[in-house]
Structure 1
């Protein structure tokens, strides 16, 4: 495997440091197994890069693992360029040098399990523990893996019952301005306790296009507004599941 000359990935996004087997960086053996777990500290990307030939004893020796930036590893193996933009929870493998990476679904990450978060006295949510939680400057609550995110904010609507709020938000969705972003789909997952309505659009930034599902979960005097951001439409199922499992707390 020939290492590329020069910083050919100088515009690659800053994702943090990667923990990489020195079989890759020093022995120049091509990576064949990579995964991204929940970061252990702010400068950590969560990426773990291995050749697949390491023994358990080899990996247990910290001298055999190094911390490197993404550009350094991409210069060794450019095939990782798209892989390293995947979110927390991604696991990829390839059978042999030069073959394509494929997604692994049966590898168990340490933090891969569901948890229940109490959002307020009223609301609770089930979400995978791989999601990182933060409170943004505006006060919005954000959960993200990098390629899947949900942003939440709660609006107090004093003196308005859920039926009134439902009709108001339904009209907002139905008659929203289509000039900036066209409504791709609409949703209504209402039940006896919570009215849930929303819509999906496509947005883009300087790096990529992505889909956003805007949802409104409505009870008397309160609206929980959600925005689900997904890079891959296959993750829409995750967004809908998560939305439907944000519920009014019973205790």
Structure 2
């Protein structure tokens, strides 16, 4: 691990909530290793925000998140791959990848997907009343 990959208190000092990560079913169904992961803002109290993948998922696989990503307790992930424990302590916005035979490397140029929310904002009270 290089000096730039070592965690600082700013990298890991967020309030920790949740105990589940969403993990690609390929990790379990095909017994493939986790090779790419990122942490987004958690969606609910049990969610850590971590999303873990093998690197073999295509767009159609990822489009059906409810079927192809499964919630997994972090403790189970540590048992599958002890190298995950240190990485899963990082804050939202963190991305990691590794190629076969190499150590984890932090990624800085990946744009983490976000859920889109349709919001309409107005300062006009009449327009606001019409929206209700």
Answer yes or no: same fold by TM over 0.5.
Answer: yes
1:95 is paired with a residue whose SS is coil
Structure 1 position 44 matched with structure 2 position 33: no
The 1:41–1:15 alpha-carbon spacing in structure 2 relative to 1, beyond 3 Å, is closer
Which whole-Å CA distance do the structure 1 matches of 2:61 and 2:97 have between them? 19
Higher RCO (CA 8 Å, separation ≥ 6 residues)? 2
Richer in helix (by share): 2
2:35 to 32, 37, 56: 32
SS in 2 for 1:66: strand
CA contact (8 A) 1:20 1:48 kept: yes
Which secondary structure state, in structure 2, belongs to the residue aligned with residue 35 of structure 1?
strand
Q: CA deviation at 1:38?
A: 0.4
Runs of 4+ in 1 over 4 A off after TM superposition: none
- Alignment partner of 1:59 is 2:62: yes
What residue ranges of structure 2 are gaps of 5+ in the alignment? Answer: 1-15, 115-132
Aligned length: 98
Q: Output the CA distance in 1 between the equivalents of 2:71 and 2:106.
A: 24
3-state DSSP class of the match of 2:91?
coil
Q: Distance in 1 between matches of 2:36 and 2:110?
A: 11
Query: Which residue of the partner structure matches residue 116 of structure 1?
Result: none
More strand by share: 1
RMSD: 1.7
Structure 1 portions without partners, runs of 5+: 1-12, 112-251
Contact 1:16/1:70 (8 A) holds in 2: yes
